[in-house]
Chains A and B, each alone.
Chain A
């Protein structure tokens, strides 16, 4: 079949993005215009109005891309193809598209409320999504880099999207500076890797590494190291995480949620694939480093989050901490670890999208009320929102019967299976610490009475409720009947790498 088809999802999304931008350029979509609630049109006033074309296009295109990637499932590519055609990619696309769908559908209210320009926003989301999908599908370092940058650059812009707000600009600047710094490392790492293996094709490189007695080659080591650093920045692993709280905090909340779900997921899946599959042969080179990253990333942000007074920022730290849990799955470096991480990511994506949505809904115009104490009595004033947030928090805390719990258990199994008891114990103990700050929100919501002048968030729109409900349903479904999902994840990942490679990866004795 025609090789271009392999890029169908990305193509769909790119076209959609182009369309939106063109339309914005040529069709006048001022406030009140047929364009709907685009440019800050009255905010919440006519917020209830028709969904903007951009938004519709975005949603449909994402859905289309998702369908396309599913359709590609039974296609297959030669092992040394530039872009992967396998279950791994589909799984990744599922998570990314799903996350993006949730984020977009939830962020409508925010855009209209804060009066942000809808076309750019959606176009950038789409472009970033393209970047992510390329990133996770790339089987060639060049493609990998392009995808990474496409994603990053779009998100830099999105972060600074609220130009009139210095916090937003500052966030985007910080993100950009550190990000650019990191991508320099990535490029240099790729260069060295290229030098070491003589190819930019991951599959080929993998074979060569597996063939050669790994570890000795300084170029290889340095290359892997620099690449790892670059990815560590993207998934905000301690100590490369310090940009994250600020960026998450300053960015408009939907973008934050997009970063926490999409960007993190994409970067993480890519890391997972590159490290545990392609560089699986060199596992003992990177394992130690990743082990340390995991430990640090689990401990530090959880502790810092304890003293956060701002829910958004607290969630930012918690999302950093979750990267730490995910790294446990990487260290396990096994099929089990991969499927565990994928499952956890899926659960985490849904939860994060939902919880950030509730956060900006509660925060109200200009994000005024997003401190923990603004949540006093929320659970009784807005029972539905409260219950939903409760479920999300429990899932984040890894409490049964939510998907978060199953995910944690999955990771624990992977860790134990790889003999990483220390990681397992750290994981549970740090999540104990995490209980405290999640519970704090819960007790503000339910145990403390709201002050009389408290701002009660408006009842959400049906659309919003629907999306939130979907999230809750998914979470509980994943918590109560994860069997199907788990099987799917395992099937999908089973054929991810070239079979020979799997064996190689599996057979690595854990140091």
Chain B
């Protein structure tokens, strides 16, 4: 497989893995809704990167998929920001740890 991918492919894979991890860590560590959301976007794009990388080996499908992912991510962003604004109206903050009406 490595052969099929070629060195750049492998590098791309590793980069995407690293990006994904960074995204995950960001999500886990940050408290600001916006930033957390951006980290998630980062993860999505990491996935896109590896899709592209694989499509070098397997053909076009991966790249098509990337477009879908981007579209969906856009939709998500729209909805997500809307939600964040909605809740901001109530709390005047976007600190995730402050939203604790629902628990236990």
Chain A residues with CB under 8 Å of chain B are 141-142, 145-146, 149, 153, 156-157, 160, 163, 166-167, 169-174, 176-177, 180-181, 183-185, 187-188, 190-192, 194-195, 198-200, 219, 245-246, 249-250
Contact = CB atoms under 8 A, between A and B. Distances in A.
Given A156-B83, A174-B102, A199-B61, A149 B75 contact: yes
B65 A194 contact: yes
Contact of A173 (B40, B54, B76, B87): B87
Contacts of A198: 54, 57-59
A146 B72 contact: yes
List the 7 closest A-B pairs by CB distance, nearest first: A184-B43, A246-B102, A187-B47, A198-B58, A195-B54, A188-B47, A169-B87
A167 B101 contact: yes
B27 to A, nearest CB: 6
Nearest to A167: B101
Interface string B53-76: 110011101101100110010011
Contacts of B84: 173
Nearest to A217: B1
Contacts of A180: 37, 40, 76, 80
A170 B54 CA distance: 38
A188 B58 contact: no
B76 A149 contact: yes
A191 B51 contact: yes
A183 B53 CA distance: 20
Given A173-B83, A177-B37, A188 B20 contact: yes
Given A142-B61, A250-B101, 19 more contacts: A142-B64, A146-B72, A149-B72, A153-B75, A156-B80, A163-B89, A166-B101, A176-B83, A177-B40, A181-B27, A183-B76, A184-B20, A184-B44, A187-B43, A191-B51, A191-B65, A198-B59, A200-B65, A246-B102
A236 to B, nearest CB: 15
B23 A184 contact: yes
Nearest to B53: A195
Given A180-B37, A200-B65, A145 B72 contact: yes
A246 B99 CA distance: 11
A153 B89 CA distance: 21
A156 B79 contact: yes
Contact of B102 (A156, A167, A177): A167
B91 A160 contact: no
Given A142-B64, A153-B75, A249-B102, A194 B51 contact: yes
Contacts of A176: 79-80, 83
Contacts of B65: 141-142, 145, 190-191, 194, 200
Interface in B1-55: 1, 13, 16, 20, 23, 27, 33, 36-37, 40, 43-44, 46-48, 50-51, 53-54
A199 B62 CA distance: 8
B43 to A, nearest CB: 4
B87 A145 contact: no
Contacts of A181: 27, 40, 43
Interface string B79-98: 11011101101110000100
B9 to A, nearest CB: 10
A167 B47 CA distance: 33
B25 to A, nearest CB: 12
A163 B101 contact: no
Contact of A195 (B50, B99, B101): B50
Contacts of B91: 166
Contacts of B68: 142, 145-146
A173 B99 contact: yes
B37 to A, nearest CB: 7
A245 B40 CA distance: 22
A187 B69 contact: yes
Nearest to B99: A170
Contacts of A184: 20, 23, 40, 43-44, 47
Given A171-B102, A184-B47, A177 B33 contact: yes
Contacts of A188: 20, 43, 46-47, 50
B62 to A, nearest CB: 6
